[in-house]
Structure 1
Amino acid sequence: MSETYELKAEVRDRVGKGAARAVRREGKIPAVIYGDKKPPIPIALSANEVTKKIHGGGFLTTIATLDVAGERIRVIPKDYSLDPVKDFPVHVDFLRVAEGATLVLEVPVHFINDEKSRGIKRGGVLNVVRHAVELVVPADAIPDALTADLAGLDIGDSIHISHVTLPEGVRPTITDRDFTIATIAAPAVLREVEEEGAEGEAEGGESEA
């Protein structure tokens, strides 16, 4: 689980596009805190601090504490918007997190032991179907990532969610099937050879006929 962090925030007196632009001109990012059956709170945060957290990784899977005018509010970032041209954050949504709460989050998948995969050694390609998996997780035990082990896998093999060891108390939101996370695909050259072979067999069969 990623370490929590704390950010100082101030309450915004005004909302709307004009007010948001004014906040950004001051070197801050407009944001809102919502959830837990309480009224939303419009806030402003240091643009520099938030940018560091976003680019530091794990932003959407790490619990944070916001100090809003002396009130400490435990939250998790639920979404953020980036400027389409300059790629800096322009808005963040935070969800209040109560003690003992469970959350629905997308957790990234990390793949290990590719050097121990027979298929990859033979030139196979790791075809990632899901770079992240949506999970139901305890708020106080959010995994940084899921680990998928490629050791022993050959061309044509697949990694399903059942092959991944989930931390205690964590479960996927999809429960009606053993969904695929990745496959070991044949290299393009091998696929071409197989296709040519299949075409040759078909032509031979037609000649005999």
Structure 2
Amino acid sequence: MSNELYTLNAEVRADLGTGASRRLRRADKVPAILYGAEKDAVALTLDHNKVLKSQEDEGFYSHILTLNIAGESVEAILKDIQRHPYKPKITHLDFQRVDANHKIHTKVPVHFLNEEKATKGGNTVAHLVTEIDVTCLPAALPEFIEVDVAALEVGATLHLSDIKLPAGVASVELAKGEGHDQAVVTLNAPKGSASEEATEEAAE
């Protein structure tokens, strides 16, 4: 994706409160907050249409973003996005500053590979997670994590410990110790098949 969608112009806002935020949204602006890196939080305003376009790409949620604020470029990650309950509108954004020398904690989307091979014969792939909690230095942050299911056998499950993470990236759950090896994906037999019945009997 073009780096242009990872770069957002922002203005510092002094007019705070619910009423001020409502006026900004009517003017096609998005209120936001920038915090972290042991610096004071800063209230910001961004262009709604630019944000709306950028957030359509998956990488917007896991990539290091650049915020241009009053002539200064600040690197940050998106920590939270709030949306209107039924309109295609972004209502608020939370950004966290990143420091090249300090690890960040964020979620990275999972891309499942070779599902067409795994689902031959009517098998179904069950995605048990769609993103993985990781910690890493900003430079090592992956846009996504790939999980290949081509060799997955019917009834088998891949866990976090089975996933090869990129260099410098660690799983937050696995770091918690035994009992946190989260299931990621399972291959199920077709409904009513002998394999499925065998799997159910083994589970019972």
Gaps of 5+ in 2: none
Work out whether residues 100 and 140 of structure 1, in 8 Å CA contact, stay in contact via their aligned partners in 2.
no
Match of 1:60 in 2: 61
Match of 1:9 in 2: 10
Q: Please, which moves more after superposition, 71-80 or 13-22?
A: 71-80
Work out whether residues 2 and 143 of structure 1, in 8 Å CA contact, stay in contact via their aligned partners in 2.
no
**What is the alpha-carbon distance in structure 1 between the residues aligned to residue 66 and residue 72 of structure 2?**
10
Gaps of 5+ in 1: 199-209
Work out whether residues 2 and 144 of structure 1, in 8 Å CA contact, stay in contact via their aligned partners in 2.
no
The one-letter code matched in structure 2 to 1:95 is: Q
Number of residues paired by the alignment? 194
**What is the alpha-carbon distance in structure 2 between the residues aligned to residue 30 and residue 76 of structure 1?**
16
Work out whether residues 109 and 144 of structure 2, in 8 Å CA contact, stay in contact via their aligned partners in 1.
yes
- 1:28 equivalent to 2:33? Answer no
**SS of structure 2 residue aligned to 1:116:** helix
Percent identity (aligned): 36
**What is the alpha-carbon distance in structure 2 between the residues aligned to residue 2 and residue 106 of structure 1?**
21
Match of 1:171 in 2: 170
**TM-score calculated relative to the size of structure 1:** 0.84
**What is the alpha-carbon distance in structure 1 between the residues aligned to residue 140 and residue 195 of structure 2?**
47
| TM-fit CA distance, 1:72 | 2.0
**TM-score calculated relative to the size of structure 2:** 0.86
| TM-fit CA distance, 1:178 | 3.1
**What is the alpha-carbon distance in structure 1 between the residues aligned to residue 33 and residue 3 of structure 2?**
22
Work out whether residues 63 and 142 of structure 2, in 8 Å CA contact, stay in contact via their aligned partners in 1.
no
**SS of structure 1 residue aligned to 2:150:** coil
Distance 1:183 1:106, change over 3 A: same
Q: Which residue among 187, 190, 194 is the counterpart of 2:190?
A: 187
**What is the alpha-carbon distance in structure 1 between the residues aligned to residue 70 and residue 101 of structure 2?**
25
Q: Tell which structure's C-alpha radius of gyration is larger.
A: 1
Alignment of 1:115-154 (within 5 A): 115-117=116-118, 120-154=119-153
**SS of structure 2 residue aligned to 1:50:** helix
The one-letter code matched in structure 2 to 1:42 is: A
Work out whether residues 190 and 196 of structure 2, in 8 Å CA contact, stay in contact via their aligned partners in 1.
no
The one-letter code matched in structure 1 to 2:84 is: D
- 1:155 equivalent to 2:154? Answer yes
Alignment of 1:64-103 (within 5 A): 64-103=65-104
| TM-fit CA distance, 1:3 | 4.6
